[in-house]
Structure 1
Amino acid sequence: MLAAIRRLPRTVWLLGLISLVNDSASDMIYPLVPLYLTSVLMAGPKALGLIEGIAEAMASLLKLAAGVLADRSRKTKSWVVAGYAIAGIARPMIAFASSWFGVLVCRFADRIGKGLRSAPRDAMLMHSVAPDQRGLAFGLHRAMDNAGAVVGPLAAAALLALGMPLRHVLFAAIVPAVIVLLLALAIREPQVERSPNPPRFSWNLREFPPRFRRYLIVLALFMLGNSSNMFLLLRAKELGLGEAQVPMIWALVSLVAALLSTPLSGLSDRFDRRKLIAGGWTIYAALYMAFGLMPAMTWLLWPMFAAYGVFLAATEGAEKALVADMVPRAQAGTAFGWYNLVVGLALLPASLLFGWLWSEASPPIAFAFGSACALAAALLLRFWVGAGEPAPNA
């Protein structure tokens, strides 16, 4: 596998490096937002669910639009550069928010940046590798992304331990944001053959194969139970984890995912990707049930968050590689736009519902709902989403 990794093209490595640095900035902030909301701005789970749901759902519309326009123009670099620039400016501005609404505005701008870059970047990765390298390429990208997510929380934890105020830690994310922008400008536009009659965009997805549409339905079901990861951090804090340990435990998740994403996603190039994804979703279902029922034993949180990293490693790269397997090359941007749209739109009801169940019923009920959705989705993916159909762009 090491030889196969070394053979990956320059574009894959450069996009991976960009994600590494970008996530070091993003994850300096991400684990601290629940703390900032609850301890500084005095907001609760309902506000957290509203912020995350609106930010992701609204920005997901841009992911589809950017993907469609990237397919039409056969240009992806400009979308990637613009997306990283907007997010890099927005994230540190959370430090100046004086209310939860200010945090919402900053998170919304951050997600707009992600919306502009996500589908074009994934299409760029797909166009840069052969079909038998897709799992490996997406896995490496996710591994470097998660490696950056280790650096960010560790840096945040170190700065907090040194006595730096929370607002100053949030603003420090501006430094890696500048580096990301410089690296994005160095990307080369991949060569993509133009189709003389590109398919027209339609909201019913009739231009795509049936199993891709079924895959999106199953993905939507899983995402309905996959609310913001910030609820996991809020649950850990509720069970007794100290503030300085919150970034550390999220760094553990990212470290496990960084170590395992490349080999697990690479494995999906040789076996049925659906089995790997369904296995990851089953791990998620078991973990969510455990998070809801576990007693206040902080030592137990560490192996559970590590197992959550295994779930991420088994699914993040393989899910995108499965999209690439199912759609024509000329429609890659649009297909990844639909994938990201489903993920983002489902997060709004998922986060709102999870926050409501947490507040009005109990955390165990909220986590049980997420577990049930994940298990049902795993079964449908395994037995309903078709296998054996010829890939349209293999």
Structure 2
Amino acid sequence: MYLADRSAPAGAKTARQNAPDGGPVRAPAVASAVLALGTVSLITDVSSEMVTAVLPLYLVAGLGLSPLGFGALDGVYNGVSALVQLTGGHLADRVRNHKLIAGIGYGLSALCKPLLLLAHSLGPVGVVLALERTGKGLRTAPRDALISLSTPAELQGRAFGVHRAMDTTGALLGPLAAFFILNTAVGGYDAVFGVSACVAVLGVVVLMLFVPSGAGLGPPGPDVGTSPRPAAAQPDSPKPAAAQPDSPKPAAVNLREAVALLRLPRLRALALCATLLGLTTVSDAFLYLLLQDRTGIREQWFPLLPLGTAAVFLLLAVPAGALADRIGRRTVFLAGHALLLAGYGLLLWAPHQPALPYLVLVLHGLFYAATDGVLPAAVAATVPAKLRATGIALVGTGQALARFGCSLAFGAAWTLWGAGPALAGAAAGLCCCAAVAGFVLRPAAPDTAPEPARHPRGTR
């Protein structure tokens, strides 16, 4: 019932015993499929963040939408993908083709970008954004499942860190590209949407050409979270199972098996903690508004605030993932929320200093580095390979819906009581939820002790 995977050293040893000539071989730190998926995410995030950076200005200044209309569209933009994640994860496991479902998701998002050129009112824009977020929801769980299935268990934190770092590189480049286009091109918004569509198509092409269809998919076996068996009984080859043509193809997953995942105590614990912590995680947009309100940052500098978070995330995602593999994912995950709580504290009580915005953004980026890739790596260690995408989708959906609910509640609290009391309430809630999560995710026994007899090796 905890995030740490202490069996990594044993797995690392067995991974060296499969060289053709009998000599020692070390598995690569990051699989080629992970690098290919990271490239796809980088390109796609450039496309998506180009739109996200200009969308508020386009909707309010360009189309003249009211704040209420913009709030409704923002809810659609952030909520739809969370609801669709479960569908994408289950479909990927059911058809046994994670690349196909991820490709449909990437393709749908790419198709929606040029449609923004034709939408000029609240209804059509809402439909286009809902379809674009549907594509994101479809692709998220299959993509993360491909990453975990392409990587040995003891290196999954590092693999997710590499992917998130590449993804964040796109998040850095997208807004910069959008603002450059707005300042240099005629018909700036249309130019942004057109270039964004071309970049999104490039991401789909890279996915189809360079991501292997069978990356990491092998015959069904025990949960990845279990202890490695002796080498004679269970070879631990770093090569993807697609290179082993004699291995049987797993049976299709039915809905009953997917629902049965909720019976796994460790997965329920992860889903509960991710949801609880999500309920007290203030959205990025609100945090940047709080920072501007607290420090008086000029409006022309406001678009650069997300770049500060993204830069820290980019630099530290891989080290944080590797640290989680080494000392335990539970520890790093909870430490990330402690850093976020420290950022809330600075916004509430720190004296106004020129360094305050930088400190808050550094803590915000550290929070994402310690949690965004560590959570799916932990989920991957608790579910069987054939249900990997479904398990990741279950936890991700609960977390995303909780954060959406937090945004609605925080906005109402800010309106009723002001920014300070609203943030103080969020900080108190985060402190309580982190304490509960630390208790729920605690190790069930000392490092050398097994779990109860029914699952003698379930946490190793």
* Superposition TM-score tier, normalisation by shorter sequence: 0.7 to 0.9
Question: Deviation at 1:66?
Answer: 1.7
Question: Deviation at 1:89?
Answer: 2.9
Which residue of 1 is the match for residue 323 of structure 2?
Answer: 267
Question: Which one of 374, 381, 401 corresponds to residue 318 of structure 1?
Answer: 374
Which residue of 2 is the match for residue 211 of structure 1?
Answer: 266
Which residue of 1 is the match for residue 212 of structure 2?
Answer: 188
Deviations 1:207-236 (A, max 9, x none): 542121022111111111224322234445
| CA distance in 1 between partners of 2:438 and 2:327 (Å) | 13
Question: Which one of 167, 173, 182 corresponds to residue 151 of structure 1?
Answer: 173
Which residue of 2 is the match for residue 25 of structure 1?
Answer: 47
- Tell me if the contact between 1:90 and 1:106 (Cα under 8 Å) persists in the aligned partners: yes
Question: Which one of 362, 371, 393 corresponds to residue 337 of structure 1?
Answer: 393
- Tell me if the contact between 2:161 and 2:317 (Cα under 8 Å) persists in the aligned partners: yes
Which residue of 1 is the match for residue 4 of structure 2?
Answer: none
Which residue of 2 is the match for residue 16 of structure 1?
Answer: 38
After superposition, residues 299-314 of structure 1 pair within 5 angstroms as 300-314=356-370
Letter of the 1:330 partner, please give it. K
- Tell me if the contact between 1:142 and 1:258 (Cα under 8 Å) persists in the aligned partners: yes
In structure 2, the CA distance between the partners of 1:202 and 1:227, relative to structure 1 (3 Å rule), is farther
In structure 2, the CA distance between the partners of 1:150 and 1:393, relative to structure 1 (3 Å rule), is same
Residue 165 of structure 2 corresponds to residue 123 of structure 1: no
Between stretches 53-62 and 63-72, larger displacement belongs to 53-62
Residue 433 of structure 2 corresponds to residue 377 of structure 1: yes
Between stretches 183-192 and 142-151, larger displacement belongs to 183-192
After superposition, residues 140-289 of structure 1 pair within 5 angstroms as 140-162=162-184, 167-168=189-190, 170-171=192-193, 172-186=195-209, 187-190=211-214, 191-193=217-219, 194-195=249-250, 200-201=255-256, 205=260, 208-236=263-291, 238=293, 240-289=296-345
Structure 2 alignment gaps of length 5 or more: 1-24, 220-248, 445-450
| CA distance in 2 between partners of 1:244 and 1:18 (Å) | 31
User: Which structure's CA Rg is the greater one?
Assistant: 2
Deviations 1:99-134 (A, max 9, x none): 555543333222101111111111111110110111
Residue 128 of structure 2 corresponds to residue 72 of structure 1: no
Letter of the 1:345 partner, please give it. L
In structure 2, the CA distance between the partners of 1:337 and 1:202, relative to structure 1 (3 Å rule), is same
Letter of the 2:375 partner, please give it. E
- Tell me if the contact between 2:182 and 2:189 (Cα under 8 Å) persists in the aligned partners: no
Question: Which one of 404, 407, 414 corresponds to residue 348 of structure 1?
Answer: 404
Residue 74 of structure 2 corresponds to residue 52 of structure 1: yes
- Tell me if the contact between 2:258 and 2:390 (Cα under 8 Å) persists in the aligned partners: no
| CA distance in 2 between partners of 1:140 and 1:68 (Å) | 25
Question: Deviation at 1:180?
Answer: 0.5
Question: Deviation at 1:183?
Answer: 0.6
Residue 158 of structure 2 corresponds to residue 136 of structure 1: yes
Between stretches 340-349 and 42-51, larger displacement belongs to 42-51
State the SS of the aligned residue for 2:441. coil
State the SS of the aligned residue for 1:185. helix
Percent of aligned positions that are identical: 30
- Tell me if the contact between 1:289 and 1:367 (Cα under 8 Å) persists in the aligned partners: no
- Tell me if the contact between 2:274 and 2:399 (Cα under 8 Å) persists in the aligned partners: yes
Between stretches 308-317 and 91-100, larger displacement belongs to 91-100
| CA distance in 2 between partners of 1:266 and 1:4 (Å) | 17
| CA distance in 2 between partners of 1:290 and 1:37 (Å) | 33
Letter of the 1:276 partner, please give it. V
- Tell me if the contact between 1:278 and 1:379 (Cα under 8 Å) persists in the aligned partners: no
Question: Deviation at 1:36?
Answer: 3.9
State the SS of the aligned residue for 1:56. helix
In structure 2, the CA distance between the partners of 1:79 and 1:285, relative to structure 1 (3 Å rule), is same
Deviations 1:239-275 (A, max 9, x none): 5434442332212211111110011111111111111
- Tell me if the contact between 2:282 and 2:403 (Cα under 8 Å) persists in the aligned partners: yes
Question: Deviation at 1:150?
Answer: 1.1
Question: Deviation at 1:392?
Answer: 5.2
- Tell me if the contact between 1:219 and 1:343 (Cα under 8 Å) persists in the aligned partners: yes
Letter of the 2:272 partner, please give it. I
| CA distance in 2 between partners of 1:275 and 1:349 (Å) | 26
State the SS of the aligned residue for 2:326. coil
Letter of the 1:23 partner, please give it. D
In structure 2, the CA distance between the partners of 1:169 and 1:277, relative to structure 1 (3 Å rule), is farther
Note the aligned Cα RMSD (angstroms): 3.1
- The structure richer in helix per residue is 1
Question: Deviation at 1:359?
Answer: 2.2
Question: Deviation at 1:276?
Answer: 0.5
Question: Deviation at 1:137?
Answer: 0.7
Which residue of 1 is the match for residue 16 of structure 2?
Answer: none
| CA distance in 2 between partners of 1:165 and 1:294 (Å) | 43
